[in-house]
Amino acid sequence: MGIRLSQIAKTYGRPGTPRALEPIDLEIASGELVGLLGPSGSGKTTLLRIIAGLEQADRDPAGTIHFGSRDVTEVHVRDRRIGFVFQHYALFKHMTVFDNVAFGLTVQPRGQRPSSGEIRARVHQLLEMVQLERFAQRYPAELSGGQQQRVSLARALALRPEVLLLDEPFGALDAKVRQDLRRWLRHLHDELNFTSVFVTHDQEEALELSDRVVVMSDGRIEQIDAPAALYRAPANRFVFEFLGDVNRLEGEVRDGALTCGEARLAVDLPEGPQELLLRPHELSLEAAPSAAAHLPMTVTAVVPVGAEVRVELAADWLAEPWLATIGHGDFERLDVRRGQRLYALPQRWHRFAAEGRPATQPSLA
C-alpha cells in the first residue's frame, strides 16, 4: 500500500503565523520503509501525525492524502487502517502482554471482531514473531524497555494495518538495545513487506534502517534519497552538516593557498574569503606537514571506537575543535596521545556556493 501526499501544509495558531509544515509533496512506494529525519521543530512528527489522521492539514492549500488509490484526506484515524507505535510504548499497565496485543481486536465492533479462537491464534503468532511468546502472561512492568517496545509493535500489527507509522520508536531506549531493535525491525519489515514511515532525529538510525530518508528542516523537505546517495551527494549545506560530523576551515585565498593564522592549504579557488568543510574520515594525520598542507594541531582527546580511533584536535587558528577518524594502524604508527603535535592532511574537501549547491574536490595535499 503506497502513500501519496500532495500539497500537505500545517499552521498552528492564528492565520499569518509561521507554518509548521510548508506545502509538501511526498510519494512512498508500497512496501517501502521511509525515515523522516530532522532536528527538533523540523515538522517531521507533524507530518507523521497528519498521515495518521491524528492532525488535520490546513485547508489552504487543499492538500490530499492517498493510501494506494483510496483518498483518506477526510477519513477518521480509526478508519485509515494504520498501526501506530509511540516512543513511550503506551501499554496498559493493568493488562498482561497477551491482553495488550489483543486489545485492538477485542474492542472492534461485533460484526468485524474475530472469534475468541482467532484472536488467541493471531496474538500467539504475533508474540512468536516478536520473540515474546513466553512472556504472554507478564505485565509491562516486568519487561525491559526493548521488550515493551516489541509488545507495542505487536499490538500495532494485530489489526493487520495497511500502513505502519512509528514516532521515534527507539528514543527511550539505551544505545545497545536501540541497535538490536533496529536490526530486528528491519528484518521483520523485509519479512512482512508492510509500508512503514518512522520519525527520528538520529542520523545513524535513519541511515541504517531506511530504504529512503526524507531530510526535513523548518517544515520543508530538503532532500529525499537512499542513505548511501544522501551521504555521498547532499543537495545543500544543511543536509551535509546534519548528516555526520563536520570540520570547518575558514581563511583567505591568495596565490593558490588558503591561509588562516599559521595554517596553509593549497587550493584551486578564487581569491578572497572561503570556507571549506571536511568530514573526519577525509583527514589523515602525520608527524610532519606536506608541501601542500601545513595544518598544525594538538591532540586533545583519543577515543578508540570499534575499527576506528576518533582523535580530537585543537589549534589557535581554529574557531572550534576538529575531529579525525583514523585506523588502528595509523594510531599505532604515530603513537597518538593527548598533547601530541600532529599535522592534518585533507584528502578531500567540500565547499558550498551562495545558492547552497555543493562542490567537492580532492585535496592537493
- Supply the pLDDT for residue 279: 93
* Bond before 321 cis per omega within 30 degrees: no
Q: Work out the percent of the chain whose per-residue pLDDT is above 70.
A: 95
pTM reported for the whole predicted model: 0.81
Do residues 362 and 327 make contact, with C-beta atoms less than 8 angstroms apart?
no
**Report for 218-222, 229-233, 357-361: range of highest mean pLDDT:** 218-222
Residue 214 confidence class, pLDDT cut points 50, 70, 90? very high
Give all strands of the β-sheet with 322-327 in edge-to-edge order.
283-286, 341-346, 296-305, 308-314, 322-327
Decide: residue 20, CB within 10 A, 0-12 exposed, 13-18 middle, 19+ buried: buried
CB 100 within 8 A of CB 151: yes
What confidence tens digit (pLDDT) does each residue in 38-77 have? 998 899 999 999 999 998 999 888 899 999 899 999 988 8
pLDDT of 126 reads 86
d(CA 52, CA 9): 14
Using the predicted structure, report yes or no on whether residue 356 has a pLDDT greater than 70: no
**The three grid cell numbers given for residue 190, joined into one nine-digit string:** 523485509
pLDDT of residue 299: 96
Q: What percent of the chain has pLDDT over 90?
A: 48
pLDDT for res 189:
83
pLDDT at residue 305 greater than cutoff 90? no
What pLDDT is attached to residue 309? Answer: 95
Residues 103/104/109/112 CA torsion (nearest 10 deg): -120
CA 137, 143, 148, 150 torsion-angle sign: negative
pLDDT at 320 over 70: yes
**Cβ proximity of 211 and 32 under 8 Å:** yes
pLDDT at residue 357 tops 60: no
**Cα separation, 2 vs 7, whole angstroms:** 17
Nearby residues of 102 by Cβ (< 8 Å), 6 or more positions away: 119, 120, 123, 158
DSSP for 170-191 reads TTTS-HHHHHHHHHHHHHHHHH
**Is residue 308 scored above 90 in pLDDT?**
yes
Between β-strands 358-362 and 163-167, what pairing exists: parallel, antiparallel or unpaired? unpaired
Check residue 146 and give its pLDDT.
Answer: 82
Between 45-54, 75-84, 220-229, 268-277, the lowest mean confidence (pLDDT) is in 75-84
Determine the Cα–Cα distance for residues 215 and 232; give it in Å rounded to an integer: 14
Cβ-contact 150, 169 below 8 angstroms? no
Do 346 and 265 form a contact (C-beta atoms < 8 A)?
A: yes
Residue 168 CB contacts under 8 Å (≥ 6 apart), including other chains: 45, 87, 198, 199, 200, 201
Q: Domains in the chain, ordered, with CATH?
A: 3-234 (3.40.50.300), 247-362 (2.40.50.100)
pLDDT digits (tens, 9 = 90+) for 104-140: 888 888 888 888 899 999 899 888 888 888 999 999 9
Residue-level pLDDT at 301: 96
Scored b (16 or more CB within 10 A) or e, 270-309 reads eeeebebbbbbbbbbbeeebbebbbbbbebeeeeeeeebb
Number of CB atoms found within 10 A of residue 360's CB:
14
Q: What is the mean pLDDT of residues 92-101?
A: 91
List, for residues 135-190, the tens digit of each pLDDT value: 999 999 998 888 888 888 888 888 888 888 988 877 767 777 777 778 888 888 88
